[in-house]
Structure 1
Amino acid sequence: GRIDQIRLLKSDVATVEGETSVGVPGEAPSVSVFSALLVLDNGRWTIHSIEESAAPNPVQVGEALRGLEWLVGRWVDETEATRVDTTVRWSSNGAFLIRSFAVRNDDNVTQQGTQIIGWDPRSREIRSWSFNSDGSFGDGVWSKNGDDWLIRSSQTLADGRAATGTYVLTRVDENAMQLKLIGHEIEGEPQPASPTVKVVRATEPAKNETPSTSSK
């Protein structure tokens, strides 16, 4: 068994969450999750109550990301002065989605970055980790909300400041999606609202990408 979390509710009251397993020779172990309420009595912690239930079935590697498989491919969003080329692909073992992007201003690359999207079996949620060429980095937690994906993001900027916000990702159709940042704050200070960005699936080779002429 294992203890996953201990949370102190008061100085003399705490909750403990974890997992237990009971094995019988020749059979797969029976796994359960538990949540216990502990109280401090005369200097000793004692169990006041405990709840136990069957552990949820583990999600197979990559299966949790199937709802995001439509992201695989090349995408572009472009304004008068700026173009963002994005490529999304599966990792070699199919456990992660890897998103790479390049921001261009007048054909000059001004920023690049990589985002890794995967399933966290401990917290049982989709998470992402981002790393940018300016030294900033961050992580996000993904959740489905109707037709939208919400990405609760926390980021450390290149100058050390902390930024938070929620990205709303909406699939318009097979070849288009929309992205909007809401609730954006830097060091707790609200930032101006960001416009919705429309991203379309690219039909031409990405910059610096040469079409292959060899047969497979």
Structure 2
Amino acid sequence: MSIKSWILTFAAMASLLSPAIAQDKDRQATDEAAIRKAVEAYVSAFNRADAKGLAALWAPEAVYINPDSGEEVVGRDAIEKQFAAILTDAKGAKLEATTVSIGFVSPSVAVEQGMAKVIRPDQEPEESQYSAVYMKRDGQWLLDRVTEEAVDVVVSHYEQLKDLEWMVGKWVDQDEEATVITECNWTRNNNFLTRSFTVQVGDQIDMAGMQIIGWDPSTKQIRSWVFDSDGGFGQAIWSKKGSSWHVQQTGVLPDGRKSSAVNIITYIDDNTCTIESVNRTVDGELLPSVAAVQIIKN
């Protein structure tokens, strides 16, 4: 066969295949829409507390595994009884479901991946990710098996710490002798604020350190921990008074002596604050206060 003949033959075959491919895509689009409607019907039946309506969406020989008890029930009648019990126990609960993807194993088998959320009165929502296998029977897509895994709920203390969000950014305190640079950032999930600081005298770093600010759920207080490059460390409790934060700090100096102070951070605007330190002691001896110094966000 010549090259020209081969090209003509290939072109003819491609022209025959194109309609088939297009038809297959159209069929899958129709089937996908049908499965999405089945998901909507499932949610609607659950929210009506309609156990019979839920069971009708499963294949006659389907297998349902209760995600809470691990109990396995087989067949539509057994599934209906199972849901009747579940809906009785979960009175007032509402279901939300979001389809993430739908893949086709064959023209009559599809797998839907999704996220589900059960909302109960006066309780935290329960979220899970699920994989549902659908079988096409007599033109209808029916559930054959569903597996669920609970979604770990990430706890965030942002609500308790958000009043300190204005601190995020780079701050500079500078005079003729030294420059103090502080940089504040959120950690992942907004559970802590970290403040790194450096004290620069001339062109040399004299000291550096790190402060971590977080919410203590056991005492319902904002707390912080600080560590410096000289070997000193401390901890503090934060309390808000008007536009100021009073930070009651206790610590240990590098030589082992104990220290304490009340550091007062006053919010002026999102780019300006003042810091002063009062009631300063080292080993019980009272030290002079440090007057308020204005800090500017860089």
Higher relative contact order (CA 8 A, sep 6+): 1
Q: Which of the residues 131, 137, 160 maps onto 2:227?
A: 131
Opposite residue 66 of structure 1, the aligned amino acid is K
Q: Which of the residues 80, 91, 103 maps onto 2:176?
A: 80
How many pairs align? Answer: 149
Hey, what does 2:191 align to over in structure 1? 95
C-alpha deviations, 1:86-125, integer Å up to 9, x for none? 1000002210000001100001000000000000000000
Q: Which of the residues 172, 185, 195 maps onto 2:291?
A: 195
2:210 aligned with 1:114, yes or no?
A: yes
**Rg: which structure is higher?**
2
Opposite residue 93 of structure 1, the aligned amino acid is N
Q: TM-score, normalised by structure 2?
A: 0.48
| Structure 1 unpaired stretches of 5+ | 1-24, 31-58, 203-216
Hey, what does 1:67 align to over in structure 2? 163
Q: Which of the residues 162, 171, 177 maps onto 2:267?
A: 171
Shift of 1:26: 6.1
Hey, what does 1:145 align to over in structure 2? 241
C-alpha deviations, 1:126-157, integer Å up to 9, x for none? 00000100000000100001111000000100
- Shifted more, 122-131 versus 168-177: the winner is 168-177
Opposite residue 152 of structure 1, the aligned amino acid is Q
Q: TM-score, normalised by structure 1?
A: 0.66
Q: Secondary structure at the match of 1:158?
A: coil
Give me the whole-angstrom Cα distance separating, in 2, the residues matched to 1:86 and 1:60: 24
Q: Which of the residues 184, 188, 191 maps onto 2:280?
A: 184
Shift of 1:162: 0.4
Opposite residue 92 of structure 1, the aligned amino acid is R
Q: How does 1:200-215 map to 2 (within 5 A)?
A: 200-202=296-298
Hey, what does 2:201 align to over in structure 1? 105
Give me the whole-angstrom Cα distance separating, in 1, the residues matched to 2:269 and 2:189: 27
Structure 1 vs Structure 2: percent identity of aligned residues? 38
Q: Secondary structure at the match of 2:170?
A: strand
Q: Which of the residues 225, 232, 253 maps onto 1:157?
A: 253
Give me the whole-angstrom Cα distance separating, in 2, the residues matched to 1:193 and 1:93: 37
- Indicate the structure with greater strand content: 1
CA contact (8 A) 2:170 2:181 kept: yes
CA contact (8 A) 2:156 2:191 kept: no
- Indicate the structure with greater helix content: 2
Q: Secondary structure at the match of 1:195?
A: strand
Give me the whole-angstrom Cα distance separating, in 1, the residues matched to 2:203 and 2:159: 38
